Structure 1
């Protein structure tokens, strides 16, 4: 069978199976572009000419559908039964979809949970940390060393540095204020209030000895 003949048969089978109207472009896309667009158009036209399918023109577009005369007549009772079945199947789909969503939610929850092996590893790490904290707590209660010699030296060094900087800045500030007060007509306290200066004495603090 040639490729064109295959396209004709494919279009006929598709329209008969779906039993609903489609344009040639729809058929081309729905057949997953297995056949060329031109081949599909020719197949539709050929089948319509041979009265194997129906052709209807809507404006500039042609729509094709299966020839309904080939299908047996269906009475009202059967149609109603089919409609009822469609409704039931629709309800079944909704129910199944809800169940699937619930299962997917549960699956995501379990996938995001840690495994038994990971939980065991975390437990071991936390147990080790607890033991370390117990040792430090015991050392604190007994008055033992809680920081290393290196850390102690770093703290004292920083204290000395900042205390010297404190004294230096206080001396510079006092020198500047002294120079201002030489030409200032009011008392020193008034100058401090006007400028908004707060002194160590206001807070009862002094630079530590180094």
Structure 2
């Protein structure tokens, strides 16, 4: 047979709480649940004047808190500004580094002004020939790919852009590469060669 009993017990804590223990009894096992309720007789209920004083004190404390937060944010921003500035040692090391770079650049400039040839004509010709060959191969391969791609996608039911994405193909334009700029460079190289002959 199932029945419920109610037991009232007072616990000795810093806050005086009343401890209610409800026990449900079953034939084979028991269950318990605890409910804590604060004693109401320990609290002082303030009157209207005291409530008004508490509200004023609360608003005054809120203003002080806002002022403190503002002061903290100003100090933090000043600290960040100071941390972003270089120390004297860092400035000196940066200065020596920049002076060495300036000296290297001046040496290179003096070599160029004195007519020192940095690249041999044979090396220059080899590089220009290699560049011309690579641009021509690029042009041929692009044309061959375009012909194959047009044949493949001519009767395909899929959208060309979706099919291209599915295969993971990228055109030159997709990666911001323009063959025309390289072709113009090659044409100017050929023009210089004709003038020098």
Task: Tell me which interval the TM-score lies in, with the shorter structure as reference length.
Answer: 0.3 to 0.5
The structure with higher relative contact order (CA 8 Å, sep 6+) is 1
- Between structure 1 and structure 2, the one with the greater Rg is 1
Q: Give the structure with the larger helix fraction.
A: 1
Q: Give the structure with the larger strand fraction.
A: 2
TM-score by length of structure 1 reads: 0.43
